[in-house]
Amino acid sequence: MTLATRLAIAVLAAWITALAVAPAAADAVTAIDLTRMFEAPGVAAWMGTDDLGRSLAWRVVAGARVSLLVSAVVVTVTAAIGIAIGVTAAWLGGWIDLLLGRVIDVFLAFPGILLAIALAGVLGPGVGNVIIALGVVGWVGFARLARAQTLAVRERDHVAVARALGTPGFTIVYRHVLPLIAGPLVVEGTFALAAVIVAEAGLSFLGLGVQPPAPSWGSLIRDGTRYLLFAPHLVVMPGLALLSVVVAINLLGDRLRDRIQRGHRVGA
Amino acid sequence: MNVRPTHPAAVLASAAVVVLGVTTLVFLLLHLVPGDPVEVMLGEYASAGDRAALRAALGLDRHLALQWLDFMLGLAHGDLGVSLATGRPVAALLGGHFAMTALLAGASLAVAVVIGVPLGVLAALRAGRAWDTGSAVLAVLGMSVPNFVLGPFLMLIFAVGLGWFPIGGADSARALVLPAATLGLSLAALLARMTRAALLEELGRPYVLAARARGLPAARVVVGHALRNAALPIVTTLGLQLGALLGGAVVTETVFGWPGLGQLAVESIHRRDYPVVQGAVLLIALSYVLVNVLTDLLYARLDPRIGSGA
- Return the domain boundaries, chain B: 90-308
Per-residue confidence (pLDDT) for residue A175, from 0 to 100: 86
- The runs of H, that is alpha helices, within B145-273 are 147-154, 177-203, 206-213, 218-219, 227-256, 261-270
Average pLDDT on A206-216 reads 82
Q: Which residues of A touch B274 (CB under 8 A)?
A: 122
Residue A67 predicted with pLDDT over 50: yes
User: Which CATH entry fits the domain spanning A64-267: 2.40.30.10, 1.10.3720.10, 1.10.1040.10, 3.30.70.1560?
Assistant: 1.10.3720.10
> Which of residues B135 and A149 earns the better pLDDT score?
A149
Note the pLDDT tens digit of each residue in A20-44.
Answer: 877 766 666 667 777 777 777 776 6
- Give the lowest-confidence range in A213-222, B55-64, B175-184, B257-266: B55-64
ipTM, two decimals, is 0.80
Per-residue confidence (pLDDT) for residue B107, from 0 to 100: 92
- Which CATH number describes the domain made up of B90-308? 1.10.3720.10
> Do A250 and B146 count as a contact with CB atoms less than 8 A apart?
no
Residue B4 predicted with pLDDT over 60: no
Cα–Cα distance measured from residue A199 to residue A211, given in angstroms and rounded to the nearest whole number: 16
> Do B29 and A118 count as a contact with CB atoms less than 8 A apart?
yes
- CB-CB: which of B17, B145, B160 is closest to A243? B145
Question: How would residue A139 be classed by pLDDT, with cut points 50, 70 and 90?
Answer: very high
Its pTM stands at 0.85
> Do A109 and B32 count as a contact with CB atoms less than 8 A apart?
no
- The helix/strand/coil state of B166 is coil
> Do B144 and A267 count as a contact with CB atoms less than 8 A apart?
no
Per-residue confidence (pLDDT) for residue A229, from 0 to 100: 79
Residue B269 predicted with pLDDT over 50: yes
Residue A141 predicted with pLDDT over 60: yes
Helix, strand, coil: what percent of chain A each, to 5? Answer: 75, 0, 20
* Alpha carbon distances (Å) from B292 to B152, B237, B309: 31, 11, 19
For chain A, the first-to-last Cα distance in angstroms comes to 27
Per-residue confidence (pLDDT) for residue A53, from 0 to 100: 65
Calculated CA dihedral for residues A157, A162, A163, A165, nearest 10 degrees? 130
Per-residue confidence (pLDDT) for residue A267, from 0 to 100: 44
Long-range contacts (CB closer than 8 Å, 24 or more residues apart) made by A22-26: A22/A58, A22/A61, A22/A62, A22/A64, A22/A65, A25/A58, A25/A61, A26/A62
CA A74 to chain centre: 7
Shortest distance, CA A252 to any CA of chain B (angstroms) = 11
Cα–Cα distance measured from residue B113 to residue B194, given in angstroms and rounded to the nearest whole number: 11
Question: How would residue B310 be classed by pLDDT, with cut points 50, 70 and 90?
Answer: very low
Per-residue confidence (pLDDT) for residue B35, from 0 to 100: 65
Shortest distance, CA B244 to any CA of chain A (angstroms) = 6
Mean pLDDT taken over chain A: 84
Residue B131 predicted with pLDDT over 60: yes
Write the Ramachandran bin of B89: left for phi over 0, alpha for psi from -120 to 50, otherwise beta.
beta
Domain range summary for chain A, segments of one domain joined by +: 64-267
Amino acid in the structure at residue B116: G
Per-residue confidence (pLDDT) for residue B1, from 0 to 100: 38
Cα–Cα distance measured from residue B289 to residue B19, given in angstroms and rounded to the nearest whole number: 7
A 10 A CB-CB count for A52 gives: 14
- The helix/strand/coil state of A49 is strand
